[in-house]
Amino acid sequence: MTYKLEGFSLAYKQYDGSGEISCRNGEKAKVSLSSKSIGFTIGYSKIEGEGYFTDVKYLSEIYGDYISLGNHFGFKNSIDRQVLTRGEISLVLIGKGQGFDIGFTIGDLSIKPK
C-alpha cells in the first residue's frame, strides 16, 4: 500500500488521508485512511509512505479498524513508523514527510474503500 496522511497532534493525534493498495494478483483499490490516537505527542506533519500487510486471501479483508502503536519525529523532515493489527491481519506503515512533530502514541487506524 502507498499512502499519504496529514494531521496534527497535542496529546491527541489525528491524521487523515488516502492510499492505494496493490495486490500480487493485480487487484488494486483506493482507500481512505483516518488515524486517531493518544500519547506523548505534539506537532503537525504531512507523511507519504508504504504499508505492508500480512497475507490475506481477499482484498476486502483489509478494510476496518486496526489498533496502532507508533512513533513519529521531525523538525522539517518527519519520520513516522506504526505497527498495526486487526486480529490475524497485521500492517506496518513506514513513512517520511515534512513537519515539526515528536511523539509516541497508541490508537487506531481506519481503512475504508473509496
For 53-85, give the DSSP string. Answer: EPP-SSGGGG-EEEEEEEEEEEEEEEEEEEEEE
Can you give the pTM of this predicted structure? 0.91
pLDDT (tens digit, 9 = 90+) per residue, 18-36? 999 998 888 999 999 999 9
pLDDT (tens digit, 9 = 90+) per residue, 65-110? 999 998 888 888 888 889 999 989 999 999 999 988 888 999 999 9
Asked if residues 7 and 44 have their Cβ atoms less than 8 Å apart, the reply is yes
